[in-house]
Amino acid sequence: MGPPDDPRGRALLVSGALGMGHVVTAQACADSLAARGWSVQTVDAMRLLGGRAGGAGERVFRSMIAVPGLYDAFHFAALRPGTRLALLADAGARRQLIPRLAEYLDSHPAALAISVFATGASAISAIADRYPAMMHVVLCWDATPHRLWVHPHVDMYLVTSRVAERAVRRFQPRATVRIVPPPVQPAFCTPPARAAARDRLGVPGRARCVLLMSGGWGLGPVAEAAAALGDAGVHVLAVAGHNARLEAALRAVAGRQPRVRAFGFTDRVPELMSAADLVITSPGGTCAEARAVGRPLLLLDVVPGHGRDNLQHELELGNAFVTSAAHEDVVANALAALAVGGEPEPVFAGPDWGAAFSSVLAELNLAGPVPGGSPV
């Protein structure tokens, strides 16, 4: 590693704690870089905006998705094409973020910046000329990136599908775009054996078992579905994420239904997936993790906007079912999916995330040997 003002071997990841998808993606990137000997710093754009602005952004988003159809309208009619309203919203957030990112980069020069949050991509793009030695990569795993993901001064876009590549080129026809597998943390590629996982969790070896979770916010009828699935004879590993109210509801369900086991935010998800026959979740990063473990999916149609696109993409990949949000529908579709049975293999073929990421670094001339590095 170079002296303090030397950017070589340093990377900045710009995430945004608006749901867990961006956070998990950033962590997977950070793990991969650290394993190759890089010094990595991750910053949260929502926190950099400050408590008032960052909190307001999350409240607005939550309020919009709480009104049926409202966020769908904003996403498809404003964000996707990049209307004046969307661009003004982006510019307002970018103005607040730029001074904080510039202050950090002035004191911690980096050879690589990876934006996994659209506002972060906008801000890094705006100050890229100030750091000519820094490469800027934008990583978006949405099936159809909207307009605010695409900016000047981006050296490479990483997406996870051909449709997403075309969506980027809609706004930047000559962009450098590479299709990569979704980033998945190593624990999901080497999960514990099913029998060992079930033994630790107290799930009978031959029992039907599902993992039920819906992102960091726990959207949808998770508690109601957990109770109904338990009543139907299915063992349920139910995860609330950061939703404290949902966690309390799940623990109440577990108190009266012995087939339900409740968890808050947990790092045991690889173990929970290994123990389950089916993963019931909203479309997002959890889907790639379940596919890495080799479990089929039942997708909750509870995330509007980009969630609609991502759900359709997951169905196209195969080994996935879909259900409406009512808990009765979740139970009916879960029982049908469990009846299919079998031990499906992971869907993704070809290069894994680690190999794809190594190729990206090599193409950017950032893959020189670093002592202590190893592929992840």
CA distance 155 to 138: 8
d(CA 36, CA 34): 5
Mean of the pLDDT values across residues 265-289? 94
Per-residue model confidence (pLDDT) at position 19 = 64
Whether the predicted pLDDT of 359 surpasses 70:
yes
Percentage above 90 pLDDT, the chain: 73
196 and 328 inside one domain: yes
Q: What is the 3-state secondary structure (H, E, C) of the chain?
A: CCCCCCCCCEEEEEECCCCHHHHHHHHHHHHHHHHCCCEEEEEEHHHHCCHHHHHHHHHHHHHHHHCCCHHHHHHHHHHCCCCHHHHHHHHHHHHHHHHHHHHHHHHCCCCEEEECCHHHHHHHHHHHHHCCCCEEEEECCCCCCCHHHCCCCCCEEEECCHHHHHHHHHHCCCCCEEECCCCCCHHHHCCCCHHHHHHHHCCCCCCCEEEECCCCCCCCCHHHHHHHHHHCCCEEEEECCCCHHHHHHHHHHHHHCCCEEEECCCCCHHHHHHHCCEEEECCCHHHHHHHHHCCCEEEECCCCCHHHHHHHHHHHHCCEEEECCCHHHHHHHHHHHHHHCCCCCCCCCCCCHHHHHHHHHHHCCCCCCCCCCCCC
Query: Does 156 map to a domain?
Result: yes
Same domain, 14 and 155: yes
Higher pLDDT, 26 or 149: 149
Per-chain mean pLDDT for the chain: 89
- Residue 302 within a domain: yes
Is residue 1, in this structure, part of any structural domain at all? no
CA torsion angle 351 352 353 359 (round to 10)? -30
Q: State whether 194 and 128 are in the same domain.
A: no
Has residue 5 been placed in a domain?
no
Number of domains in the chain: 2
Can you tell me the mean pLDDT for 98-120? 94
Same domain, 160 and 204: no
Looking at residue 262, its pLDDT comes to 97
Mean pLDDT of 5-16: 86
Same domain for 158 and 61, yes or no, is: yes
The pLDDT value recorded for residue 61 is 75
Q: Quick one: average pLDDT of 299-314?
A: 94
Q: Residue 28: its pLDDT value, please?
A: 87
Q: Is residue 369 part of a domain?
A: no
Note whether 324 and 355 are same-domain residues. Answer: no
Same domain, 131 and 267: no
pLDDT digits (tens, 9 = 90+) for 183-207: 888 888 889 999 999 999 999 999 9
Residue 24's pLDDT band (cuts 50, 70, 90): confident
- 69 plus 196 within the same structural domain: no
pLDDT of residue 23: 83
Query: CA 119 to CA 374: how far, in whole Å?
Result: 31
373 in any annotated domain:
no
Query: Is pLDDT above 70 for 9?
Result: yes
**Most confident of the following: 181-195, 214-228, 291-305:** 291-305
pLDDT per position as a tens digit, 133-191? 999 999 999 999 999 999 999 999 999 999 999 999 999 999 999 999 988 888 888 89
Is residue 350 very low, low, confident or very high in pLDDT (cuts 50, 70, 90)?
very low
Share of the chain above pLDDT 70, in %: 89
345: in domain: no
| Residues 32 and 175 reside in one and the same domain | yes
Least confidently predicted of 11-20, 75-84, 179-188: 11-20
Residues 121 and 257 in one domain: no
Least confident of 14-28, 55-69, 76-90, 176-190: 55-69
pLDDT score, position 216 = 75
For residue 373, what are the CA distances in angstroms to 65, 174, 356?
Answer: 42, 33, 16
Find the CATH number of the domain harbouring 271: 3.40.50.2000
Domain encompassing residue 205: 187-340
Instruction: Tell me the pLDDT tens digit for each residue of 313-332.
Output: 999 999 999 999 899 999 99
233 and 331 part of one domain: yes
Question: 163 and 93 in one domain?
Answer: yes
> Which tokens in the block code for residue 61?
């988003």
Kindly tell me if the per-residue pLDDT of 367 is higher than 70.
no
How many other C-beta atoms are found inside a 10 Å radius of the C-beta of residue 248? 14
Has residue 351 got a pLDDT over 70? Answer: no
371 belongs to a structural domain: no
